[in-house]
Structure 1
Amino acid sequence: MARPIDSGIIFFARLALAVLFLWGGVMKLLAYSGFVGYLHSKGVPFPEIGAGIATAIELIGGIFLVVGFLIRPLGIIMAAYTVITAVLGHDFWNVVDAAVQRDMVIHFWKNIGIAGGFLLLCVTGAGALSIDAARTPKRRLL
């Protein structure tokens, strides 16, 4: 049985992750053509489609994190997305400038850490302060 404080901590963790992705999704939406250009410069195939998918994942995923909806499957999707963005967007192994490479290494490993947080949410679930908890049938004692 979970302690009452656990749901508050899980809620805070969801919000902390959501802020990052909601902000990123909004920025991508506001500068959409620039984001498509960035993906093109990174050699991403079909950058127009990739930009739409990335923006949707960040915005919808961020909203689902805030309200606690479908958190277990969302955790897997967001973990995979975050690892993919680490590999495509923070490819430090292709950078020759030492200062830029150092920054890319930091961002790469931050993304991997964030993916770990999403995997933890996949295991813990959304907590009591969520739509998922409200949708779960309550056990009745006989």
Structure 2
Amino acid sequence: MTWLDLVAVPLLAKICLVGMFPLSAYDKVAHWDEAMGQARSGPLPFPSLLLILGILVEAVTPVLIVVGVFDRAAAFVLAGFCAVTALMYHPFWRFPDFWSKNGEGRTHFWDFFKNFGLVGGLLLVVIGGAYAPVVQVVAHPLANGPWAAASRSIPDNR
């Protein structure tokens, strides 16, 4: 495998996955009052403390993931952050108009599922999937992932 396979593509994937979080942390600091209002809107206690912890999670864990230091633990923490944020602050089901074009629930609907999309990507970092060479992926774009061949080689002793 080449540098492109082992470093460049996985690094680009990690940056794309977590790149928004430091910007979100900065936005929370720059617009503290609005962020505090959102923190207070949820059901969790101690909104000031939670906001500070959220800023730290969004600022630190992406750096750890990208540089590969405690990346699995950082991805696990960030996945938990995304799941809690989705469940506690984007409960789209509480809005009867979440399918209407201008309904408040519609925004929460998409934010909820975007957060869980991030949870899925972060859990892939946690489980540490094997990288496939870029040339192999380009040559066989519809092939199964590397784990599929391994699962077929395990004998079935039923």
**TM-score when normalising by structure 2:** 0.71
Contact 1:79 1:114 in 2 (8 A): yes
By how many angstroms is 1:56 displaced? Answer: 0.4
By how many angstroms is 1:115 displaced? Answer: 0.5
User: Does 1:109 pair with 2:117?
Assistant: no
**RMSD of Structure 2 on Structure 1 (CA):** 1.8
Which runs of 5 or more residues in structure 1 are unaligned? 128-142
Deviates more, 1:112-121 or 1:101-110: 101-110
Aligned to 1:123: 127
User: Does 1:67 pair with 2:67?
Assistant: yes
Distance 1:96 1:20, change over 3 A: same
Among all aligned residue pairs of Structure 1 and Structure 2, give the percentage whose two residues are the same amino acid. Answer: 25
Which runs of 5 or more residues in structure 2 are unaligned? 132-158
Aligned to 2:85: 85
By how many angstroms is 1:91 displaced? Answer: 0.9
User: Does 1:36 pair with 2:33?
Assistant: no
Name the CA distance, whole Å, in 2 between partners of 1:124 and 1:48.
34
Contact 2:90 2:108 in 1 (8 A): yes
Higher relative contact order (CA 8 A, sep 6+): 1
Amino acid in the other structure paired with 2:51: A
Contact 2:90 2:109 in 1 (8 A): yes
Deviations 1:75-133 (A, max 9, x none): 111111110011112110112333322221111111111001001011227x8xxxxxx
Matching of residues 88-99 of structure 1 within 5 Å: 88-98=88-98, 99=103
Aligned to 2:149: none
Structure exhibiting the larger radius of gyration computed from Cα positions: 2
By how many angstroms is 1:6 displaced? Answer: 4.5
Amino acid in the other structure paired with 1:100: E
Amino acid in the other structure paired with 2:119: A
Query: Number of paired residues?
Result: 124
Name the CA distance, whole Å, in 2 between partners of 1:36 and 1:43.
13
Name the CA distance, whole Å, in 1 between partners of 2:52 and 2:94.
25
Name the CA distance, whole Å, in 2 between partners of 1:88 and 1:20.
20
Instruction: Report which of the two has the higher share of helix.
Output: 1
